[in-house]
Amino acid sequence: MIRSTLAFSLLALPLTAFGLHQENSFRRRHSGVAHSPAFMRRSTNYTLQQKYIGEDFLNWDFFDEADPTDGLVQYLNATAAIDAGLATVDCNNVTTLAVDSTESVVSGGLRKSVRISSPETYNSGLFIADFEHMPFGCGVWPAYWSVSTTAEWPTGGEIDIIEGVNLNPENQITLHSGPGCTLNNSQPTTSNQGGIECTSSADADSGCFFTQTTPTSFGAGFNNASGGVFAHLWNTDGITVWFFSRPQIPNDIASGNPDPSTWGTPAAIFPDTGCNITSHFYDHTIVFDTTICGGWATSAYPSTCPGTSCSDIVSNATNFENAYWKINSLSVYQ
Ligand SMILES: *[C@@H]1O[C@H](CO)[C@@H](O)[C@H](O)[C@H]1NC(C)=O
Ligand SMILES: *[C@@H]1O[C@H](CO)[C@@H](O)[C@H](O)[C@H]1NC(C)=O
Ligand SMILES: *[C@@H]1O[C@H](CO)[C@@H](O)[C@H](O)[C@H]1NC(C)=O
Ligand SMILES: *[C@@H]1O[C@H](CO)[C@@H](O)[C@H](O)[C@H]1NC(C)=O
Ligand SMILES: *[C@@H]1O[C@H](CO)[C@@H](O)[C@H](O)[C@H]1NC(C)=O
Ligand SMILES: *[C@@H]1O[C@H](CO)[C@@H](O)[C@H](O)[C@H]1NC(C)=O
Ligand SMILES: *[C@@H]1O[C@H](CO)[C@@H](O)[C@H](O)[C@H]1NC(C)=O
């Protein structure tokens, strides 16, 4: 596990009420129609570089330090997480990464959870993540993301593919970067575009983002459909993200011959026009985590959840019965 860089330990996300207000003020539907990006017009053969499934995830790096986002979690090391039954693999090779939902924890205390990151790092690729279930619930803040291991955050960038808090019904897709990177998209997407400033700092970490509009993209709605696939293509042309609820997963993904040129309108497009993707995003490890409260879930808490304080909910074990990932697989193609 890389512990030395601030980059690795900071999950800098669209924290705080500020971020949420910004989202609303920037909210608009994109209707620009222009030429499709090159990758959507031509068919390319992708070769499988790495497929993570089952036990593979138990060999990832387990982060076991204090949560950098100030969440009310105690992240367990691999041995402790496996012993506690919070990191398991079933007979179908499905990996579960869970928040504890049995132990008693005082209000404002720390509940056990898991945060893992891939031993391999990436500078590009077509990433296809298939989930049966994602964590949700009051106070719950799950994320599937990647971040640079060689540069101090936000230099080297952060790509957030799945993220949301509490009982939010929709997923948010976000980039964070060093200076000189803005979102300049004119292509249609299935999402609402949020802030366009990808450049982030500790004081201004909303990032540039898209909020999905379908309730099957996050939380209870995602799980009710038996999950689905988030796919993202990261290359010199940009970063493009597609979401498929389980009934809509294309055959070419299921058969292991993915062809993004056939996938239709993406959920998010971050083109290279306003941002040199190569120079702002590099050496990324892939991360799965679930935190509780922390900046974002705390500020957003009263709008959807009971009581006034997020920190009280941590004591209610039952509340965390749905706070788990069920990962079918993660494939990386080049
Ligand atoms: C992709 O692979 C198929 C089968 O191997 C081949 O027929 C096709 O020409 C390839 N397409 C490209 C664009 O390389
Ligand atoms: C489960 O995944 C492992 C790789 O982690 C693979 O070797 C094994 O064949 C898979 N088993 C099943 C039943 O798919
Ligand atoms: C893992 O965590 C447990 C519980 O905190 C601790 O006792 C153990 O020493 C840790 N193991 C390693 C290898 O760090
Ligand atoms: C759950 O999914 C079924 C289809 O599988 C759908 O008919 C139903 O409306 C969904 N319920 C909710 C609450 O999303
Ligand atoms: C935004 O992208 C368009 C092409 O889609 C380009 O003409 C324009 O110069 C870009 N603007 C910025 C600020 O990069
Ligand atoms: C983008 O950054 C890379 C790496 O620093 C550089 O090689 C490339 O020339 C840059 N592209 C443009 C269009 O400036
Ligand atoms: C605990 O959480 C569950 C699920 O969110 C909720 O139904 C229940 O009312 C909560 N219990 C208390 C004592 O707040």
Pairing of strands 111-113, 73-75: parallel
Mean pLDDT of 223-246: 98
Residue 275, domain member (yes or no): yes
Q: What pLDDT, on a 0 to 100 scale, did the predictor assign at position 122?
A: 98
pLDDT band at 64 (very low <50, low <70, confident <90, very high): very high
Residue 71, domain member (yes or no): yes
Q: What phi, psi does 302 have (nearest 5°)?
A: -65, -20
Whole-angstrom distance, CA of residue 33 vs CA of residue 36: 8
Greatest CA separation for the chain: 56
Ligand nearest to the Cα of 83, by number: 3
Q: In this predicted model, what pLDDT tens digit does every residue of 289-323 receive, in sequence order?
A: 999 999 999 999 999 999 989 999 999 999 999 99
Pocket test for ligand 5, best of 33, 181, 183, 184 (most atoms within 8 A of CB): 184
Beta bridge partners of 121: none
Q: What pLDDT, on a 0 to 100 scale, did the predictor assign at position 19?
A: 33
16-25, 254-263, 266-275: least confidently modelled range: 16-25
Q: What pLDDT, on a 0 to 100 scale, did the predictor assign at position 40?
A: 59
Residue 316, domain member (yes or no): yes
pLDDT at 283 over 70: yes
pLDDT band at 24 (very low <50, low <70, confident <90, very high): very low
**Is any ligand 6 atom within 6 A of the Cβ of residue 123?**
no
**Is any ligand 3 atom within 6 A of the Cβ of residue 74?**
no
CA of 82 to the centre of ligand 4 (A): 33
**Is any ligand 2 atom within 6 A of the Cβ of residue 89?**
no
pTM: 0.90
Mean pLDDT of 7-14: 38
Ligand 3 atom index nearest CA of 76: 2
Tell me how far CA of residue 325 lies from CA of 30, 94, 163, 230, in angstroms: 31, 10, 13, 14
Beta bridge partners of 142: 290
Q: What pLDDT, on a 0 to 100 scale, did the predictor assign at position 44?
A: 81
CATH number for the domain spanning 88: value is: 2.60.120.200
| Residues in Cβ contact with 225 at an 8 Å cutoff, skipping those fewer than 6 apart | 216, 245, 246, 247
Whole-angstrom distance, CA of residue 115 vs CA of residue 311: 20
Name the H helices within 234-307.
Answer: 251-254, 277-280, 294-304
Q: In this predicted model, what pLDDT tens digit does every residue of 37-61 receive, in sequence order?
A: 555 556 789 999 999 999 999 999 9
Q: In this predicted model, what pLDDT tens digit does every residue of 194-227 receive, in sequence order?
A: 999 999 999 999 999 999 999 999 999 999 999 9
Whole-angstrom Cα Rg for the chain? 18
CA of 263 to the centre of ligand 1 (A): 18
Q: What pLDDT, on a 0 to 100 scale, did the predictor assign at position 20?
A: 34
Ligand nearest to the Cα of 63, by number: 3
Residue 86, domain member (yes or no): yes
pLDDT at 33 over 60: no
Instruction: Tell me the residue range of the domain where 219 lies.
Output: 38-333
27-36, 115-124, 127-136, 175-184: least confidently modelled range: 27-36
- What secondary structure does DSSP assign to 184-199, as a single string? ---S--SEEE---B-B
Whole-angstrom distance, CA of residue 229 vs CA of residue 266: 13
**Is any ligand 2 atom within 6 A of the Cβ of residue 53?**
yes
Mean pLDDT score across all residues of the chain: 89
**Is any ligand 4 atom within 6 A of the Cβ of residue 221?**
yes
Structural domain count, the chain: 1
Q: Are 133 and 324 in contact (CB under 8 A)?
A: yes
Whole-angstrom distance, CA of residue 91 vs CA of residue 133: 17
pLDDT band at 154 (very low <50, low <70, confident <90, very high): very high
Pairing of strands 191-193, 208-212: antiparallel
| Residues in Cβ contact with 215 at an 8 Å cutoff, skipping those fewer than 6 apart | 169, 170, 221
CA of 275 to the centre of ligand 5 (A): 10
Q: In this predicted model, what pLDDT tens digit does every residue of 90-106 receive, in sequence order?
A: 999 999 999 999 999 99
Residue nearest to atom 12 of ligand 5 (CA): 274
Residue nearest to atom 9 of ligand 2 (CA): 93
Q: Are 241 and 232 in contact (CB under 8 A)?
A: yes
Residue 87, domain member (yes or no): yes
Active site amino acids: 158, 163
> What six digits make up the tokens of 203?
């004081």
Ligand nearest to the Cα of 44, by number: 1
Residue 298, domain member (yes or no): yes
Whole-angstrom distance, CA of residue 166 vs CA of residue 135: 10
Preceding omega of 250 cis (within 30 degrees of 0): no
Residue 6, domain member (yes or no): no
- What secondary structure does DSSP assign to 103-172, as a single string? S---TT--EEE-EEE-SS-BSSEEEEEEEEE---STTEEEEEEEEESSS-TTTT-EEEEEE--TT--S-E
Residue 246, domain member (yes or no): yes
